[in-house]
Amino acid sequence: MTRDAAPRPDAFTVEVIRNALTAIAEEMSLVIMRSARSPLLREAGDLSSALTDAEGGLIAQGRDIPAHLGIMGSTVQEFLKRVPKSRLRPGDVWFLNLPEVGGNHLPDVKAIRPVFAEGAVQAFAVSLAHWADVGGARPGSYVPDARDAWQEGLRIPPLRLFTSAGPDREKLDLVVANVRGGEEREGDILAQMAATRSADERLQELLASYGAATVQAAIADIHDQSEAKMRAAIREIPDGVYEGEDFLDHDGIDDHPIAVRVRVTIAGEEATFDFTATDDAAKGPLNATPFTAGASVFYAMKAIAGPDIQPNAGCGRPLKVITRPGSLVHPPWSRPVVGGNHETSQRMVDAIFKAMERVVPERLSAGGSTTSGLLLFGGTDPRTGLWTTLYEVHAGGEGARAERDGGPTARPHMSNVMNTPAEIIETFYPIRIERQALRPGSGGRGRHRGGPGQERHYRILAPEMAMTSMVERTVIPPYGLQGGEPGLPFEIVVERADGRRTAISGKTHVTLHAGDCVIMKSSGGGGYGAPEQQAKGQERT
């Protein structure tokens, strides 16, 4: 590279290149949503796109899922430790899902494509997609009672599935043979490939019109700008050591809450997040990787300190994350992690919020549905004879804020996955949605009230379906802030065809039969400020 010789591009050029890079990442998400086959991708949008620099520093991301976006950089960095750049070729697309390769959990499969110009790798395009099934002990690859990593599904180390000559058929067949819904999965793999291809083409245009040296200089400048802004934002928070904790309901095996504890040190323009006091690694699948801890810290500080700062590797430079090996958020690689990705990652954000309540309460929202609220339905559709897996996440009420009530049913923090419309569920799965409505009275009281959760009723139409739950906030409810009351917790009830009703756990699996109905009630948001303040002349309905 001729980076040293590059003149520093003017501010206008940097601005154009910055926006072009973001547009490329956003377009990747559009390409995959439009061409993918599984409803989880094309309807719910459980996917993310990003560009990193040649060393794995995040440059630009789509408007996707923070839990994904926070591990894009570490995925490329760890990938490069296993696959040296000398082995990369133009047109390669490498797939992987191993959590230890900078990642989070097996269902989130990453496609990495090196982008070449002037004979060298200039950037990486990364397309992450949540596969509705990645093999393992149970349909949908969520095994609530898993005790090791191998029960959770097919483990894919960096594997070159495409070269410039096209797909590597044998490797592709090996992957597809080991997951359920093979044809749908192959369609999703092609869609991920297509997303990285579109990024490659657009980047080639950009590199050709400005030259690689100018683009690289602009990227360096973009990172520096975000770093400077994040440092300035941290300076505005009073120095000090702040501690916060929140709890997971249980890990699906041992029936007791698990503590997530953080010690936040704000010192000048740098911040350290020390999770050492968090409980030990769980037996069940609630463990989170240290890369996920980094994603949680990145999100929390963006949201609290710098919501307007362009998210890239520069934002992360003044942030330090400490995890204790052997703990819930730095487990041995043999431990299961599938739920930790979206449950424990959210609880880390909650712990950080509770730590920061002492200093910047006016910037925070009270507790929301910081869980995926995931229900997985698997079974053969009698209309087609084909196996189907519905992966559906449920939002609860938004936490209230200093200036307003919480809104109804919204995905908070690390997630932003959409619901699958009832009409799409009924078209593609042997399920009827009998009701989807708000859950009245579920928001916590306060000077401002938490938002209401929702109810959804799933009537089973197939002779038999398996259902798995991966739901938190069923025991420990979303918290209030500044004296506000907590919201109601999640509730899942199975009503059998004969009318018997059973409340079920947030981490279990049950067998359902035709006529059974699953009633899902999501949590309400926490209130903000003492409820008495509301009574004094600010009564709301």
Partner 1 sequence: MTAAWRVGIDIGGTFTDVVAVDGAGGSVRMGKVLSQADPVAGIVTACRSIGIELPAASDIMYGTTMATNAIVEGRLAPIALIATEGFAEVLDIGRQNRRELYKMAVTPRPEPLVARESRLEARQRMDAAGAELTPLTDAEIARLAAAVRALGVESVAVSLIHSYLNGDHEARIGEGLKGVVPFVALSHQLNPEPREYERTNATVMNAALMPLVARHLEQLIERLGARTGLHMFHSAGGMASAASIASRPLALALSGPAAGVAAAAAVARRLGLPRVISFDMGGTTTDVSIIVDGRMHIDSNQRMAGYPIRQMMVAVETIGAGGGSIARQDGQAVRVGPDSAGADPGPACYGLGGTQPTVADANIILGYIESGRRLGGSVQLDVARAEAAFAPLARAFGTSVQGAALGVRQVANANMARALRRVTIEHGVDARTCTLLAFGGAGPMHAVSLAREFGIGKVLVPRFSSGFSAFGCMTAEMNYAEQRPLHMRSSRWDATELASIAGRIAERLKEPMIKAGCAPESLRVAVAGLLRYTGQSDAVEVPLVAPYDVLATDRAFKATHERLYGFATDEVWEVDTLRVTVSAPPKQTLATLPAEAVAASTEPVARRACWFDGDQPRETPLYDRDRLPAGRKIAGPAIIADTWSTVIVEPGSTAWADEHAHLHIDLEGGRK
By CB under 8 A, is residue 165 in contact with partner 1?
A: no
Distances (CA, A) of 123 to 56, 262, 302, 340: 8, 34, 24, 30
Rounded Cα distance between 292 and 99, Å, is 10
Cα–Cα distance list, 460 to 39, 424, 437, 466 (Å): 18, 15, 19, 10
413: left (phi over 0), alpha (psi -120 to 50) or beta: left
Regarding 416 and contact with partner 1 (CB under 8 A), the answer is yes
Shortest distance in whole angstroms from residue 23 CB to partner 1: 4
Residues within window 258-317 making contact with partner 1, judged by CB under 8 A: 299, 302-303, 306-308, 311
Closest by Cα among 363, 351, 293 to 322: 293
Identify which of residues 61 and 327 has a Cβ nearer to partner 1 in the complex.
Answer: 61
Angstrom distances, CA of residue 362 to CA of 24, 150, 355, 479, 485 = 35, 44, 13, 16, 17
Closest-CA residue to 28 (of 191, 212, 158, 205): 191
Tell which positions 119-138 bind partner 1, by CB under 8 A.
none
272 burial class (0-12, 13-18, 19+ CB within 10 angstroms)?
A: middle
Measured from the CB of residue 81, what is the shortest distance to partner 1 in angstroms?
A: 29
Tokens found for residue 441: 């009275």
Q: CB of residue 335 vs partner 1: minimum separation in angstroms? A: 30
Looking at the Cβ atoms of 35 and 75, the one nearer to partner 1 is 35
For residues 218 and 205, what is the distance between their CA atoms, to the nearest angstrom? 16
Q: How far is the CB of 99 from partner 1 (least distance, A)?
A: 23
530/481 Cα distance (integer angstroms)? 9
Among 56, 66, 378, 379, binds partner 1 (CB under 8 A): 66
- Rule CB under 8 A: is residue 384 a binding residue for partner 1? no
DSSP H or E run through 505: none
Q: Which two tokens stand for residue 449?
A: 């009230």
Which residue stretch of 129-137, 142-150, 410-418, 499-507 sits at the interface with partner 1 (rule: CB under 8 A)? 410-418
How many chain residues interact with partner 1 (CB under 8 A)?
74
What binding mask, one character per residue, do residues 191-230 give for partner 1 by CB under 8 A, x or -? x-xx--xx---x---x--x---------------------
Taking a C-beta distance cutoff of 8 angstroms, is the pair 146, 508 a contact? Answer: no
Q: CA geometry: angle at 315 spanning 309 and 316, to 5°? A: 155
b or e along 231-244 (b: 16 or more beta carbons within 10 Å of the residue's beta carbon)?
A: bebbeebeeeebeb
Shorter beta-carbon distance to partner 1: residue 63 or 501 = 63
Piece in contact with partner 1 (CB under 8 A), picked from 49-57, 105-113, 281-289, 423-431:
423-431
The least CB distance from residue 181 to partner 1, in Å, is 11
Q: Which two tokens stand for residue 319?
A: 């942030």
What is the contact mask toward partner 1 in residues 345 to 374, using x (rule: CB under 8 A)? ------------------xxx---------
* Nearer to partner 1 among residue 148 and residue 183 (C-beta): 183
Nearer to partner 1, 137 or 493 (CB): 493
* Interacting residues with partner 1 between 431 and 460 (CB under 8 A): 432-438, 454, 457
Q: Which of residues 450-509 bind partner 1 (CB under 8 A)?
A: 454, 457
Task: Return the range that interacts with partner 1 (CB under 8 A); candidates 34-42, 78-86, 116-124, 239-247.
Answer: 34-42
Asked if 22 and 60 touch (Cβ cutoff 8 Å), the reply is: yes
Residue of 22, 292, 389, 482 interacting with partner 1 (CB under 8 A):
22
Binding piece for partner 1, criterion CB under 8 A, among 260-268, 322-330, 400-408, 512-520: 400-408
Q: How far is the CB of 252 from partner 1 (least distance, A)?
A: 25
Nearer to partner 1, 293 or 431 (CB): 431
In the complex with partner 1, the residue whose CB is nearer, 354 or 401, is: 401
Task: Please check whether residue 480 is in contact with residue 524, taking contact to mean a CB–CB distance below 8 angstroms.
Answer: no
* Residue 429 CB, nearest approach to partner 1 (Å): 9
Binding segment for partner 1 among 125-133, 142-150, 221-229, 398-406 (CB under 8 A)? 398-406
What are residue 507's phi and psi, to 5 degrees?
Answer: -140, 85
- Integer Cα distance of 60 and 315 in angstroms: 12
Residue 394 binding partner 1, by CB under 8 A: yes
* Residues comprising the chain, all counted: 541
CA distance 354 to 482: 10
Interface with partner 1 includes 63 (CB under 8 A)?
A: yes
Question: Which alpha helices (H) appear in 211-266, and where do they start and end?
Answer: 212-235
48 binds partner 1 per the rule CB under 8 A: no
